[in-house]
Structure 1
Amino acid sequence: MSPHAVVLVHGTRTSASQWDPQVPSLLAAGYTVVAPDLPGHGARRTEPFTLAGAIDAITAAVRTAADLARRPPGVQDQHGPPGADGTARVHLVGSSLGGMLAIHTAATVSLPLASLTVCGAAVQPGPWTARLYGGLVTLSDRLPGGPDGSSSLFRLLLGREGARAYLRGGRAGAEVVGPAFRAVASLDLRRDLGRIQVPVTFLHGRFDQLRIQERAFTAAARHGRLEVLPYGTHLVNLNRPERFTADLLRVLARA
C-alpha cells in the first residue's frame, strides 16, 4: 500500500483529463492519484459552476485520496466517500483556475495535506482583469470553425498529445467562464496563502502569462518556494509533458 497520494485539479474549460500525461508516471512512482472534475466541467458539464461547489469537489477529492492511499494505488476521475481517519497525507496540485481554487481550499478547509503545488496561478484577479481574461479564454470560440473547430488551435498550442488530453474529457461551454472568474476575483489569494501551514511551491513555465505576481505570492506563503522552469507556457504540463512530469515528481519528493 502507498502512503502517498496526489490530487490534480484542472484549469478552466478542460477537465480531469488535463492531467492524462502525468498520471502514468505518478502511479509508477507509487502515488495514488485522484483527479476530480470541477462543477461545469468534464462529466459535470451540466452543472453550474459555483465557488462552493468547486471547494466541495476539491475537499472530497483530497479526503478520498487520503483514504485510497491506504489501498493499492490507482486513479479515480470522480470523488468517492472520504476516509474516516485521514491518516494518509495528500499532495494537492492545481493548474490555472484549479491552482487558485486549490489555494483557497487549502486555506479554508481542514485537510490532511502534505504540500500544495500551484501551476500558472500566481495572479490576483480583480473584476476588470477577470472579465478581460475571461474574454480571452472564450476567444477561440469566435475563430473560424467555432468551438467545434478549436481542436486545430489546441494542436498548434499544445501539440497533438497535449490537445488530446485537454479535450478528452470534453470542453466546457463559454457560459462557465464568467462564474468561474467572478469566483476567483472575489478571493484574497495572498491572504489565503498566509494561512496555509504546508509547503507551497509555485511551479511555472517560463512563458506563463499568469506568473506576473509570483514573487509576491511566494512571499505571502509561510513556506513558499518559487520554481520557474526554463521551458513551457501556461499549460506547461501539456505543452512540455515529459519534462514537466519529471519536475513535478521532483517537487513532490522534496515536499
Structure 2
Amino acid sequence: MEPDDVRPRQATRTPGRTPVVLVHGSRTSSTMWRAQVAALESDGRRVVAPDLPGHGRRRGETFTLDGAVDAVRAVADDVGAPVLLVGLSLGGYLGIEVRAREPGLVAGLVAASCCTVPSSPLRGAWLRAARRIEASADSGERLNRWMVDRTVPAAGRADLAAGGFALDTMAAILEAVGATDPLGSLARASSPVWLVNGRFDHFRLDERRFVEAARAGGAPVRHVVVPGAKHLVSLDRPVAFTRVLLEAAHLLDADGAGHGGDQGAGVRPGRSQLREPPTSAAELGTTTTSSPSRPSAVGVIARELPPPR
C-alpha cells in the first residue's frame, strides 16, 4: 500500500497517549474526520484516517471486506498498535471485524451508527436499490447531492465533498458487510467498546443486542445516544461526538494502552478544538443496559479503566 493512499495525519506525539485510527463510512473518505483529527492531534495523539478500497484516493479499486480489513490493519500497525479504533457506519462494522480478527491491534473500539444486524430482511431491498442507482446514467450523483444537502450541516458537507464520493461501491459494500456477523464478532474480544448512535439514526434497530453481544465477550461497554443527531453523528454533532472519543482515549491512556500510560493518565482532554457550548453527560444521552446479575456497562468501565482526574 502506498503512503499517499492512506492520508496519514500525524502530530507530535505525547508519550503515553493512545494512537487513534478513524475509519470512514460508505461512499465517503478520510476527509469526513477533519474535526476529529484536529481535536485528537491537539490532544497530542498520532492519528491516521485511511481511505478504504474504492474510496477517496483509492477510488477505482474494488471494495472487498478482506481488503478493507487489511487497510485498517496496515495503518494500525504503522501508527503503533494497540490503538483506539473508531469507525462510523461501514467503518463501525469494519472496526468490529478488525477487533475480532486482530484483538491485539485494538485497545478500545468506538463503533458508531452500526447497531443494525446487516443480515436484516431490509438488506435485500437496500441491495436492489443500490444496484439500480449505480446503473443509472449519473450513478446516483444527483440523488447523493440532494441527500447530502438536506441531511448534513454545511461544515460537514464541505468535509464530505473534499474527498469525493464513491458512487459505485454501495452494492459491493452491502454484499460484503452482509456476510459478517457483528454480534458474534463483538463477543470474540474483550477490549472496551463504545457504541455511539444519533438519536434519530435508522441504524439503531438492534442496539440492545449489540450491547449484550459485547458484554458476552467480557468487554466493558458504554452506550451513547447523541440527541439531535442522525446517521452521520460525527458530522451532525461533531463536538459531542469528539468528546466521546477524547473520553475513550483518556480512559485507555489511564489503563496503559498508550505504551506507557503513566505519562498520559490523569491529563484532562484538551478543548482547544471544541467550540460549541459544553455538553453534559445527560445531554449526550449516555445510557446503559443493565441486568440484575451484572453491574451497569458504565460502572464496569469506571471500575476497570479509571476516569481521567
Match of 2:223 among 226, 244, 247: 226
Three-state SS of the structure 2 residue aligned to 1:211 is: coil
Match of 2:25 among 11, 27, 38: 11
Deviation larger for 179-188 or 130-139: 130-139
Give a deviation string over 1:37-80, Cα, whole Å, max 9, x none: 111111111100011101100101111121xxxxxxxxxxxxxx
Match of 2:180 among 162, 187, 199: 187
Give a deviation string over 1:104-138, Cα, whole Å, max 9, x none: 11101243321000000011112743232345668
Q: Which residue is equivalent to 2:69?
A: 55
Match of 1:171 among 165, 168, 174: 165
2:34 aligned partner, one-letter code: D
Give a deviation string over 1:198-227, Cα, whole Å, max 9, x none: 001101111111111111111111312211
Q: Please say if 1:158 is aligned against 2:152.
A: yes
Q: How far apart are the structure 1 equivalents of 2:250 and 2:156?
A: 25
Counterparts of residues 16-165 of structure 1 (less than 5 Å): 16-66=30-80, 86=81, 89-126=82-119, 128-134=121-127, 147=141, 150-165=144-159
Three-state SS of the structure 2 residue aligned to 1:39 is: coil
CA RMSD after TM alignment = 2.4
The offset of 1:149, in angstroms, is 7.0
Deviation larger for 223-232 or 163-172: 223-232
Deviation larger for 149-158 or 201-210: 149-158
Three-state SS of the structure 1 residue aligned to 2:21 is: strand
Match of 2:236 among 227, 236, 239: 239
Three-state SS of the structure 2 residue aligned to 1:114 is: strand
Percent of aligned pairs sharing the same letter: 36
Give a deviation string over 1:178-201, Cα, whole Å, max 9, x none: 111111111111110011120011
State the TM-score, normalized to the length of structure 2: 0.69
State the TM-score, normalized to the length of structure 1: 0.83
The answer to whether the 8 A contact 1:62-1:111 is kept is no
Three-state SS of the structure 2 residue aligned to 1:22 is: helix
The answer to whether the 8 A contact 2:226-2:240 is kept is no
Q: Which residue is equivalent to 1:73?
A: none
Q: How far apart are the structure 1 equivalents of 2:140 and 2:88?
A: 25
Q: Which residue is equivalent to 1:79?
A: none
Three-state SS of the structure 2 residue aligned to 1:7 is: strand
Q: How far apart are the structure 1 equivalents of 2:65 and 2:140?
A: 28
1:172 aligned partner, one-letter code: A
Q: How far apart are the structure 1 equivalents of 2:74 and 2:109?
A: 16
1:186 aligned partner, one-letter code: A
Please identify the structure whose Cα radius of gyration is greater.
2
Inter-CA distance 136–124: structure 2 relative to 1 (3 Å threshold): same
1:159 aligned partner, one-letter code: P
Inter-CA distance 10–145: structure 2 relative to 1 (3 Å threshold): closer
The answer to whether the 8 A contact 2:26-2:90 is kept is yes
